A and B are shown apart, each in its own frame.
Chain A
């Protein structure tokens, strides 16, 4: 079972919003304001928005190899030729924990266009942009090129995709809440206040334990989660919330490890109903923070579930990064991306005086800056040899 948001769902976003609003009949559908002019939603499903078709049109050359397959290619078993642990397994672990932008010694298959979900983040229709499933143009989602042909991340049931999505509901650490205030109507409002924070409580679910139900109660986490508190502005048109960009640190652990992601210029694009919200969170994902999350949650064994390879992903992500240039090196730190997200309505307990003070004093969390003492590209090249790199990877070196 995978309940993450699919391409088809994204494609139906506008229709869905209208349909659900009409179906519920209450409040927003007739343009009425929610109670107290405020409504909150808790995230229940989250996955990277990729275009994953059954016929794999976006991966004409097939899917990428993972750690296990790459090891066999790089260090084949040859009778009479013993392999040293240091030169093989440990070398790959070093390349994984101390990745560089040296060309990949193995081919990397990027997700192809023309279709990918996401938003137009830069207001430009460029040659690297995709067309959305709904036909919208100028979609910025280079993350689709990185993850689109890796089995772990593909819809509907890539292993990492499945587990990361499942953990959103299961783990209180991941309790992201979006609260709207000053809402005159869930159908249309030119200006609403948006606050993003972490809740402390389990999501209300049905007897099966997997279906989130509206009407649950949440408390704001001002003890451990102040770094996640952010505010922005938004507007509602035809039942769809669109927010102004805000740099967003958000919690997303997978296997009991307190890991976060960071999205520069994140914006929400959500179809709202009184009971639920669904859509995209799009922006520029910080590469080092993303990679650290993966390394901490998904070491080599787990990457092998669905054939992904840390070093290859890092190289591709750095090569395809398209925003937030590093002030010193000029290399881009972030990559355009989108998250497919589902939310369920929750009631947030009124903030106490102490909580209001904590909110006012909250300092937003930072992206991870990468391993402070980095391994030089030359060191990896001396081990791998640049000659083995595919032409596409070599050509992209100018990006660094």
Chain B
């Protein structure tokens, strides 16, 4: 087991309308334990804020794969040992997503990058040799490309610092999302029967069946404050007879003689009242909290959390739900169209029917308060030209200082008139998995699994 060090700073949060986000300084600096494995020389593991440990090349650039994926009308992505990411820009739609046909000329063709311009192949040096799951694949252009577990690897031009995962993420749900690129990651070091998933709030520890894991403030390393009656509500997670303590994982023997897993010194439980996977309902019970192998830093201080009809959503200072815009185009290379450096044609169509002015009225950017500063890597203040939707440079006239999540600006929706309304959640193609607006669900009590 190995944990990478990571610096954190705390942001004071202000509760305005709705619930307070989190107490400043309440989060520990822990990062997720993972199982080390042999790496090519110079390659390493970096810890990203959202996705946890990721593999990186010699320069610390996160490595991604492009998994082969079945779409509605065909397949795309890389097969094992081959790259389908060309060095010439796509010009036509692929018709991979029903009901529209392929063969339509893509927008902004004169500015469209090639797949390889956005996703440079992770090229191996001449003398690099395979090690463990790492192999070297001969490309069609004669170069040698690193592969992991058979999947050829790329870096992302969006990533600039070690630990950045701005090209893709492990958070996006499947469904009808584009064929996205995933960061490759070492296996989390968790006992059998437990697993970890990336969530908006951190890397959630849960059972293999998906039920959230909880810890109790009344427990210590040597004593449990959860009595027999409590155990009816919070069921200890049993450790098998063969279990051995290691790293941050330990064993606690309850009064009944039952052995129970602990993590970072805290006995672990599941909540009998959780009726669905990844429910956080147990954390409503005073003293109980869900367990994360690592947590994300809090959202910006001026943000709030509001109760909606389906759980809690992140909201701006006035309680208006905050949305992200997701987009992947229907070309064979499935490039992103959600970053401000990407074409804005799709977004302007969705939010304003092609009009930037209507877009700004329907889906205004979330402007940063004066003096607002970045909160970690995920929440950053960027300057945007509202006329084009692209990044502005150096205090350009009319530029807005807005909040961005993973460098993608976030929005409110003027059609939400009361705190907690989520009228634009899922507005778009394929429930906005493919393209459109999604609310930031701080806690989803009905749908998310």
Q: Which A residues form the contact surface with B (CB < 8 A)? A: 66-68, 71, 77, 82-86, 88-90, 92-94, 97-98, 171-173, 201-202, 223-225, 227-228, 251, 253, 255-260, 292, 295-297, 299-301, 303-304, 365-366, 368-373, 375, 379
Residue pair B358, A301 in contact (C-beta under 8 Å): no
**Cβ 8 A contact of A89, one of B93, B352, B358:** B93
Answer whether A85 and B93 are a contact pair too, CB < 8 Å, given A71-B100, A256-B431, A258-B447: yes
Q: Are B106 and A85 in contact (CB under 8 A)?
A: yes
CB distance from A292 to the nearest CB of B (A): 6
Whether B414 contacts A257 by the Cβ 8 Å rule is no
Q: Does B429 contact A (CB under 8 A)?
A: yes
Q: Is the CB of A379 within 8 A of B414?
A: no
Interface window among B29-37, B52-60, B247-255, B416-424: B416-424
Q: Which single member of A90, A303, A365, A373 contacts B345 (CB below 8 Å)?
A: A90
Max chain A C-beta neighbours (<10 A), residue from B101, B346, B423: B423
B81-116 near A? 1/0 per residue, CB < 8 Å? 000000000000100011111011111000000000
For the complex formed, measure the closest distance between the CB of B75 and the CB atoms of chain A, giving whole angstroms: 17
Question: What are the residues of chain B within 8 A of A227 when measuring CB–CB?
Answer: 309
Which of A83, A300, A372 is in CB contact (< 8 Å) with B361?
A372
Shortest distance in angstroms between A81's beta carbon and chain B's nearest beta carbon?
A: 11
Closest 7 CB pairs between A and B?
A: A98-B353, A258-B310, A373-B361, A256-B447, A372-B414, A304-B99, A257-B426
Kindly list chain B residues whose C-beta atoms are within 8 Å of the C-beta of A94.
349, 353-354
A248 to B310, CA, bound (A): 18
Contact, CB under 8 Å: A257 / B352:
no
CA distance A300 to B100 in the complex (A): 9
Separation of A392 and B373 alpha carbons in the complex (Å) = 57
Instruction: Say yes or no for B171: interface residue by CB 8 A criterion.
Output: no
Which residues from chain B sit less than 8 Å from chain A, CB to CB? 72, 93, 97-101, 103-107, 176, 275, 307-311, 345-346, 349-350, 352-355, 357-358, 361-362, 414-415, 417-418, 422-423, 425-431, 436, 445-448
> Are B104 and A83 interface neighbours, CB within 8 A?
yes
Give chain A residues whose Cβ lies under 8 Å from the Cβ of B425. 257-258, 296
Q: Which residue of A lies closest to B91 (CB)?
A: A82
Q: Are A90 and B349 touching (Cβ within 8 A)?
A: yes
Q: A173 and B447: CB pair below 8 A?
A: yes
- With a cutoff of 8 Å between Cβ atoms, the chain B residues found around residue A82 in the complex are 103, 105
In the complex, A257→B175 CA distance in Å?
13
Given the known inter-chain contacts A85-B106, A85-B107, A368-B423, please indicate yes or no for A255 contacting B431, CB distance below 8 A. Answer: yes
Q: List 28 A-B contacts (CB under 8 A).
A: A82-B103, A83-B103, A84-B104, A84-B105, A84-B107, A85-B104, A88-B104, A89-B93, A90-B345, A97-B350, A171-B446, A171-B447, A173-B309, A173-B447, A225-B309, A256-B431, A256-B447, A292-B423, A292-B427, A297-B426, A300-B98, A300-B100, A368-B423, A370-B415, A372-B414, A373-B352, A373-B414, A379-B353
Bound-state CA distance A397–B349 (Å) is: 26
Beyond the given A83-B103, A224-B307, A375-B358, please list 15 additional residue pairs across the A-B interface where CB-CB is below 8 A: A84-B105, A85-B104, A89-B100, A89-B104, A90-B345, A94-B349, A173-B309, A225-B309, A256-B446, A257-B447, A292-B427, A301-B98, A369-B417, A373-B358, A373-B361
Q: How far is the CB of A172 from chain B (nearest CB, A)?
A: 6
Q: Chain A residues near B97 (CB, 8 Å)?
A: 301
What residue of chain B has the Cβ atom nearest to residue A97's Cβ? B350
With A and B bound together, what is the CA distance between A251 and B447 in angstroms? 13
Q: Which residue of B lies closest to A259 (CB)?
A: B426
Docked-complex contact A224 and B308, CB < 8 angstroms: yes
Return chain A residues, CB-CB under 8 Å to B431: 255-257, 296-297, 299
Give which listed residue, B93, B99, B345, B415, contacts A369 with CB less than 8 A. Answer: B415
Interface contact B307-A223, CB-CB below 8 Å: yes
A200 closest partner in B (C-beta): B275
Chain A: minimal CB distance from B383 (Å): 23
> A288 → chain B, closest Cβ, in Å?
9
In the bound complex, do residue B105 and residue A93 qualify as a contact, i.e. CB atoms below 8 Å apart?
no
Contact A90 B107 (CB under 8 A): yes
Complex interface: chain B residues within 8 A of A171 (CB): 446-447
Considering the complex, give the chain B residue whose CB is closest to the CB of A85. Answer: B104
Q: How far is the CB of B412 from chain A (nearest CB, A)?
A: 11
Residue of B nearest to A198 (CB): B309
What residues of chain B lie closer than 8 Å to A297, measured between beta carbons? 426, 431
Q: Chain B contacts of A259 at CB under 8 A?
A: 426
Residue among A171, A373, A379 facing the most chain B CB atoms (10 A cut-off):
A373
Tell me how far the C-beta of B91 lies from the nearest C-beta in chain A, rounded to whole angstroms. 10
Choose one: A223, A256, A303, A372; the contact of B362 (CB below 8 Å): A372
Q: Determine the distance from Cα of A104 to Cα of B353 in the docked complex, in whole angstroms.
A: 17
Min CB distance B306 to A, Å, is 11
Across the interface, name the chain B residue whose C-beta is closest to A99. B353
Residue of A nearest to B93 (CB): A85
Considering the chains assembled together, what is the distance between the CA atoms of A260 and B446 in angstroms?
A: 14
| Chain A neighbourhood of B429, CB < 8 A | 93, 299-301
Q: When the two chains form their complex, are residues B446 and A172 in contact, meaning their CB atoms are under 8 A apart?
A: yes
Instruction: Give chain B residues whose Cβ lies under 8 Å from the Cβ of A224.
Output: 307-311, 445-446
Q: Which residues of B contact A251 (CB under 8 A)?
A: 309
User: Are A93 and B349 in contact (CB-based, < 8 A)?
Assistant: yes
Please, how many angstroms separate the alpha-carbon atoms of A256 and B430 in the complex? 12
Partner of B99 from A172, A258, A292, A300 at Cβ < 8 Å = A300
Q: Contacts A304-B98, A372-B414; is A295 near B427 (CB within 8 Å)?
A: yes
Cα A256 to Cα B439 with chains together (Å): 13
Closest Cβ neighbor of B413 among chain A residues: A372
CA distance A119 to B418 in the complex (A): 32
Indicate if the CB atoms of A97 and B423 lie closer than 8 Å: no
Is B105 a contact of A372 with CB atoms below 8 Å?
A: no
Which residues on the A side are within 8 Å of B422 (C-beta)?
A: 258
Tell me, rounded to whole Å, the shortest Cβ–Cβ distance linking A163 to chain B.
Answer: 13
Give the distance to chain B from A293, nearest Cβ to Cβ, in Å: 10
Chain B residue contacts of A77, Cβ below 8 A? 101, 103
B355 partner residues in chain A, CB cutoff 8 A: 373, 375
Q: B362 to chain A: which residues have CB within 8 Å?
A: 371-373
Contacts of A375 in B (CB 8 A): 353, 355, 358
With CB as the reference atom, state the residue of chain A lying closest to B345. Answer: A86
Q: Given the complex, which residues of A lie within 8 Å of B353, measured CB to CB?
A: 94, 97-98, 375, 379
**Closest beta carbon of chain B to A290's beta carbon, Å:** 13
- Quick one: closest B residue to A82, CB to CB? B105
CB distance from A70 to the nearest CB of B (A): 10
Q: Please, which residues of chain B bring their CB within 8 A of the CB of A86? A: 107, 345
Distance of B252 from chain A, by nearest CB (Å): 33
